[in-house]
Structure 1
Amino acid sequence: MKGENVRNSFMEKQKELAQFIQQFCDKDGIFSTDIPCLHFIRVSHKLEPLYQIHKPALCIVAQGTKVVIMAEEIYQYDPSKYLVVSVDLPLSGEIIEASDELPYLCLRLDFESKQIFDILKESEQLKIKETDSHRGLFVSNIHSSLLDAVLRLVHLLDTPEDISVLAPSVIREILYRILQGDQGRSVKQVAMIGSHAERVVNVIKQIKQDFTRPIGIKRLASIANMSESSLHHHFKQVTGSTPLQYQKQLRLQEARRLMLSQTIDAANASFQVGYESPSQFSREYARLFGLPPIRDMQRIRNINQINL
């Protein structure tokens, strides 16, 4: 009986979160809130894979189901689970369960490694001895203490005058709950100064800053204060890709964005993101997105017209 009561209480909290997001989002889209790092997402139909560089964030699905792919690894989550991305990662995401009656509803809470570092400084129980790097993304079962804190955060939107005083402490509690979880080490590692993962984060920042230029592994290894082989190993452990593959995905995703937003052709886009050969760009684009650039643009624009 007690176990059943706990389950019923948990389901009521999930329903409460879904109803709140639904009330806040009167149509499909991504919505900012009065809490700058908090966003709500609503989608009322299944979507094709969306490619993006996902920044560090906690994502909780209140209704529906989503699949995220990093390299060739597949992560699926729904209201029983939550997803955490702890470093900037090239990902593709696909909503596989959504409808007009039961739209996909999601909460995204962005965070920074400094927030994690500040918690670690004050929480001796969270100290860990580094052994190896861990994936910068994980899916874990959601628990009541985390859901309670998330609900308190979203309800602050009902009293905007309380946000500046109360939101920072509630966000801190949410991050603390993630760190306490069974995969909290994935988040801890990026905030530990001098850790392998923290050095990988510095390399990611450099690649993002200079992604249109030829990549220099020796230079990146120097930035990380690692050997080239060690950088390769830990970078792949965290991101699922090599530095060169990571840069390639940055280039291709930016080229796709340019072609969609500025209606420039594939050759121009390829040169702007650092390719010297349009034919090589077209081959690599097709490998990532499934179609060569021209056909991919036609397909996306046709879908957009249908959805208007």
Structure 2
Amino acid sequence: MTELSTNQLNELSKLINRFTNSEGSNKTAIPSLFFIRESDITEPIHAVFKPSFCIILQGEKEVLLASDRFRYGPQDYIVSSVHLPVTGQVIKASKDIPYLAFKLEFTSSEILSLLDEARNERANQKMNRAMFIDKAEPVLLDAVTRLARLLDRPQDIPVLAPLYKKEILYLVLQGPHGNILEQMALEGSQVYRIREVIEYIKRHYVEAFRIEELAEKVNMSVATLHRYFKQVTAMSPIQFQKNLRLQEARRRLLAEATDAAEVAFQVGYESPSQFSREYSRMFGLPPKEDIKQLRENQVHSKNA
């Protein structure tokens, strides 16, 4: 790590420390920008990553996408180019040196707008994972720092924040994995079609679907859809839907006073016993025991 990079990371860390009021994800005054802080190692957290750019300033984190493992630390950034159900865990953090991260969400239309202005045709258009990690160069850290500094000049946010965000996304597009973002935004590309399937499943995760119908929607053969979907997401369409259902079921069980059988039907399961088996396989405990443990952990965290 160069002296310049170290200074940039230190400045960003100080900004995040000043503008975070609580543990976890903190919204900022800049639209789509979040600061994340954890002062201790966390339990594995199941969530759906939105399309986003996230750079780590302190600590380390590990993300599981199906069987793929992504581990990243200071000066690393991770990008999810589509919605992806993942399991994330902060694996290095302390009260003295908390885990700190800068997360910027984006849309495919923002990527497409950039491509229209600065098209960069690439020879390598093969299908890749929708998630990747790279090291942030000083020029990218500089753009990230300038965006974060706007929190001290809120009057400048409406004009300058969109420009700095655009610069950050442009620099990621120019990087070694930029083709992944590019293909996700280009209408007509095979990867764009997979993104359409992902969005459809996300909107209709409660409903049963036939893979033949999905393939027909995006003008693909069933075999091609299966192969490309797995290359992009590391899972099949059915596994993707199952992850969404189970994550939503867990969220509802934790937030509402309802039983597992009722929630199973709400998220699309016809058999409570099948729901319980798949829930246990994903979260390690049956629904009732898992929710009890989560609530006890929440009480312990509040009292700590």
1:199-248 residue CA offsets vs partner (Å, 9 max, x unmatched): 11111111112111112111110111101111111111111111111001
Q: Which of the residues 15, 24, 39 maps onto 1:44?
A: 39
Q: State the Cα distance separating 1:40 from its structure 2 match.
A: 0.6
Distance 2:149 2:246 in 1: 39
Q: In the aligned structure 1, how far is the partner of 2:235 from the partner of 2:128?
A: 13
Give 1:299's match in structure 2, choosing from 266, 288, 293.
293
Mapped partners of 1:295, 1:72: distance in 2: 25
CA distance in 1 between counterparts of 2:21 and 2:250 reads 29
Deviations 1:113-148 (A, max 9, x none): 111111111223x22356432111001111111100
Does 2:5 align with 1:10?
A: yes
The Cα shift of 1:263 comes to 2.5
CA distance in 2, matches of 1:166, 1:278: 51
Instruction: Output one character per residue of 1:84-123: Cα deviation in whole Å (capped at 9) or x when no partner.
Output: 0000000010001111111111111000111111111122
1:20 maps to 2:15: yes
Which of 152, 157, 170 matches 1:176? Answer: 170
Deviations 1:265-295 (A, max 9, x none): 1111101111011111111111111111111
1:90 matched to 2:75? The reply is no
State whether structure 2 residue 93 is matched by structure 1 residue 105.
no
Partner of 1:31: 26
Q: With structure 1 as the length reference, what TM-score do the two structures score? A: 0.95
Name 1:53's counterpart in structure 2: 48
Counterpart secondary structure, 1:99: coil
Which residue number corresponds to residue 66 of structure 2?
71
Q: Structure 1, unaligned stretches of length 5 or more?
A: 1-5
TM-align CA RMSD: 1.2
Q: TM-score, normalised by structure 2?
A: 0.97
Q: Paired residue for 2:256, among 242, 247, 262?
A: 262
Question: Partner residue of 2:204?
Answer: 210
Mean Cα displacement is larger for which, 88-97 or 181-190?
181-190
Aligned mate of 1:227, from 192, 200, 221: 221
Residue in 1 aligned with 2:247? 253
Q: Structure 2: which amino acid aligns with 1:88?
A: H
| Distance in 2 separating the partners of 1:169 and 1:131 | 28
Q: Do 2:124 and 2:179's aligned partners in 1 also have CA atoms closer than 8 Å?
A: no
Q: Which residue of structure 2 aligns with residue 3 of structure 1?
A: none
Q: Is the 8 A contact 2:211 2:222 kept in 1?
A: yes
How many Å separate the matches in 1 of 2:123 and 2:221?
A: 21
Give the unaligned 5+ runs of structure 2: none
State how far apart, in whole Å, the 2-side matches of 1:291 and 1:102 are.
32
Contact 2:4 2:138 in 1 (8 A): no
**Is the partner of 2:300 in helix, strand or coil?**
helix
- Find the aligned partners of 2:14 and 2:178 in 1 and give their Cα distance: 29
Q: Is residue 114–residue 191 contact of structure 1 (8 Å, CA) maintained in 2? A: yes
- CA contact 1:120–1:127 (8 Å) conserved in 2: no
Q: Which amino acid aligns with 1:26?
A: N
- Dislocated runs of 4+, deviation >4 Å: none
Match of 2:274 among 274, 280, 287: 280
SS of equivalent to 1:173: helix
Structure 2 CA distance for aligned equivalents of residues 193 and 128 of structure 1:
16
**Cα pair 1:70 1:90 within 8 Å, conserved:** yes
Alpha-carbon contact 1:258-1:269 (below 8 Å) kept: yes
Cα deviation, residue 301, structure 1: 1.1
Is the partner of 1:193 in helix, strand or coil? coil
One-letter amino acid of the structure 1 residue matched with residue 301 of structure 2: N
Q: Distance in 1 between matches of 2:75 and 2:16?
A: 17
Alpha-carbon separation, structure 2, partners of 1:51 and 1:29: 14
CA distance in 1, matches of 2:189, 2:232: 12
Tell me if structure 2 keeps the 8 A contact 1:37–1:109: yes
